Chains A and B, each alone.
Chain A
């Protein structure tokens, strides 16, 4: 059985010094070879693994025939951000996991092919089928993956879509969270420009709840509202010394570098501290992104501390491998207990405790427990906390009648509608976790919104 064509990547020694993409993308020959491996199943299981329901054999068939622009058209029927998905989706858990070839050999590299198609034929956006404009206005709050997907689908159905974004640039986590070396901002700009060409209006610098309220949006003749404000509120561990200088949460560090482009300071105005011996705490994609970013800012050593083992890390396998090849040191079964500062309140060490895995917990993972008196200190001058996020509370607190659960997530029904009629929600603010999950919810919510508007 044929083996998959591996995605070429840049030498770790070179790439760890810059922010350019790690994976360089298939050449035409590599693409053709990989696309031709696809069996073109009549009843494809791969598509069932895709949260936005892309017709996978359909687009691969065009690629195998060396017709990337037709392939993009197939992708765009279902996916409003294919260049993003080809790069950041955890395909190994989704489409590629269900590929029939994977049963006995290696799955088709669906993500790599998706990326090839969009890289080659990106501008080709002309013939996307857009329904006749209905003139009915829908507002989307938040321009992250969920909002852009929901808004994009509603546009295609003929609605007049306006997206409100609190920051000065659209894209949500794709803009401020995922680094340039995984998703170049140029690629994101192209995706967003394509949506604008379809008629999406994006209004920046507008914090719904503060700048204008949900009620005001309804008064301005929006007929439905989709809330996708994400989970932006960082979690702090609640241990001594967490407010010492140069202890950052990953969101702050990544916003400085990705959104504010502080890697190019002082050409750009926003400063960022360049740690020499950096400690990152966490095991998710955000932790990997933070560690690899710190390395690229010139760190001599980057240690990643995680309380379980590498097997339990939520980060993508590919990112873990990339991180390790670049020289990130993984310290597993270890948890911080306090941060130690110098006389000027700058962090100088992390006191850690060793852990062992105990019984299985609700999440199906073994619960880590402390090993008594195993404390030891790791010297550091910069700590980045990547412990997850809580739902952003601003909009929910300021919107009357919008019900949330005890953690602050917006409660929705089977149709993605909230407790306020005409207000829908999706993505991390209802408990989503990944980019593609948010996009999947955005897509389903768009269908529900259209259904709701038709009934009115």
Chain B
């Protein structure tokens, strides 16, 4: 059993947890992920490691309530335990001195970008971070991002923070002004795809962290397979980071739709049960 040591809501339906898992905390590196399973009937769900404290044995995860399992996870309290917590999984981000690094993030992708820029900054890179959100209230981790970035920029759909527009609008501006050595894009698929299309013509090396459906997360099932340059790769063992210009995005998008109907059944059942519990109280 793995204990939730701390819990904090850092945005609308976005939670940050610290889980006591000393072995994972000791070996986790930026870019890796964990798989959790709440209880005996739970499913296995991947989450990026958003940080780790090896001294205290804590692993930080940040997640948005989007499906049944994340809703259930959010309903737990400090001191509660989850059944399974496995990791760190996947290949770590390659950390070295590139020069100027631009990290673009959208949604909870922000939490995945944080450990990556932290390590890249330690390695002596200049970090420009670009965050995209629908509006100001949906921006998370602003203070921490500021601490790890040399320059922090925002794009919001309604213009309440930074420029009015998309991440790619900010990126175009940066590209026109200076040389970028490498770009990271982590967030929703449409955002990563848009960044990839922008940087392809500019010939800027771009890495993305992919988020397909996963089951075991150890390379034994192929649920998370993606086409990279026409070859099958398993995101859980070959990734999650890949060259954005080699990803078959249409395929990834369609494969993410696989269980939409069943996921809805699961969510509806969970909500109904939650309401029932409230009535009983």
A: residues with CB less than 8 A from B are 166-168, 204-207, 210-212, 232-234, 236, 238, 242-243, 245-246, 248-249, 251-252, 255-256, 260-261, 265-271, 273, 344-345, 392-394
Q: Is the CB of B42 within 8 A of A234?
A: no
Q: Which 4 A-B pairs have the closest CB atoms?
A: A232-B220, A271-B262, A252-B221, A269-B43
Q: A210-B88, A271-B262 are in contact. Are A393 and B41 (CB under 8 A)?
A: no
Q: Is the CB of A393 within 8 A of B221?
A: no
Q: Is the CB of B219 within 8 A of A233?
A: yes
Residues of A within 8 A of B85 (CB): 205
CB neighbors of A among B226-266 (8 A): 226-227, 232, 234, 237, 248, 250-251, 254-255, 257-259, 262-263, 265-266
Q: Is the CB of B251 within 8 A of A210?
A: no
Q: Is the CB of B221 within 8 A of A249?
A: yes
Q: Is the CB of B254 within 8 A of A210?
A: no
Residues of A within 8 A of B263 (CB): 271
A231: nearest chain-B partner, CB-CB: B220
Q: Is the CB of B23 within 8 A of A252?
A: no
Residues of B within 8 A of A393 (CB): 219, 237
- Interface size of B by CB at 8 A reads 45
CB neighbors of A among B8-65 (8 A): 23-24, 27, 32, 37, 41-44
Q: Is the CB of A271 within 8 A of B266?
A: yes
Q: Is the CB of B255 within 8 A of A210?
A: no
Q: Is the CB of A234 within 8 A of B222?
A: yes
Q: Is the CB of B251 within 8 A of A243?
A: yes
Q: Is the CB of A212 within 8 A of B254?
A: no
Q: Helix, strand, loop or mixed for chain B's interface?
A: mixed
A166: nearest chain-B partner, CB-CB: B218
A-B contact list, 23 entries, CB within 8 Å: A166-B218, A167-B216, A167-B218, A204-B86, A205-B84, A207-B218, A210-B88, A211-B87, A211-B88, A238-B232, A243-B226, A243-B227, A245-B254, A249-B222, A255-B215, A267-B41, A268-B41, A269-B41, A269-B68, A344-B254, A345-B254, A345-B255, A394-B219
Q: A234-B220, A255-B216 are in contact. Are A245 and B86 (CB under 8 A)?
A: no
Residues of A within 8 A of B257 (CB): 245, 344
B125 at the interface (CB under 8 A from A): no
**B21 → chain A closest CB, angstroms:** 9
B72: nearest chain-A partner, CB-CB: A269
B: residues with CB less than 8 A from A are 23-24, 27, 32, 37, 41-44, 68-69, 83-89, 215-216, 218-223, 225-227, 232, 234, 237, 248, 250-251, 254-255, 257-259, 262-263, 265-266, 269
Distance between Cα atoms of A268 and B237 in the complex (Å): 26
**B98 → chain A closest CB, angstroms:** 24
Residues of A within 8 A of B44 (CB): 168, 260, 270
Q: Is the CB of A236 within 8 A of B232?
A: yes
Residues of B within 8 A of A394 (CB): 218-219, 237
User: A207-B87, A271-B43, A345-B255 are known contacts; what are 18 more A-B pairs with Cβ within 8 Å?
Assistant: A166-B86, A166-B218, A167-B86, A205-B84, A205-B85, A207-B86, A238-B232, A243-B225, A245-B257, A248-B222, A252-B222, A255-B220, A265-B262, A266-B265, A271-B262, A271-B263, A345-B250, A393-B237
A346: nearest chain-B partner, CB-CB: B254
Residues of B within 8 A of A273 (CB): 258-259, 262
Q: Is the CB of B69 within 8 A of A269?
A: yes
Q: A168-B84, A266-B269 are in contact. Are A251 and B221 (CB under 8 A)?
A: yes
Residues of B within 8 A of A232 (CB): 218-220
Q: Is the CB of B68 within 8 A of A210?
A: no
Residues of A within 8 A of B262 (CB): 265-266, 271, 273
Q: A168-B84, A212-B27, A271-B259 are in contact. Are A233 and B68 (CB under 8 A)?
A: no
Distance between Cα atoms of A268 and B265 in the complex (Å): 12
Q: Is the CB of B43 within 8 A of A270?
A: yes
Q: Is the CB of A234 within 8 A of B221?
A: yes
Q: A269-B68, A269-B266, A393-B237 are in contact. Are A212 and B219 (CB under 8 A)?
A: no
Q: A236-B232, A268-B41 are in contact. Are A345 and B219 (CB under 8 A)?
A: no
Distance between Cα atoms of A393 and B218 in the complex (Å): 10
Distance between Cα atoms of A140 and B32 in the complex (Å): 25
**A260 → chain B closest CB, angstroms:** 6
Residues of A within 8 A of B250 (CB): 345
A246: nearest chain-B partner, CB-CB: B258
Q: Which of A205, A249, A269, A271 contacts B42 (CB 8 A)?
A: A269
Distance between Cα atoms of A204 and B225 in the complex (Å): 25
Distance between Cα atoms of A206 and B232 in the complex (Å): 26
Q: A260-B43, A271-B262 are in contact. Are A211 and B221 (CB under 8 A)?
A: no
**A453 → chain B closest CB, angstroms:** 26
Q: Is the CB of A255 within 8 A of B221?
A: yes
Residues of B within 8 A of A251 (CB): 220-222
Distance between Cα atoms of A179 and B50 in the complex (Å): 37
**B213 → chain A closest CB, angstroms:** 10
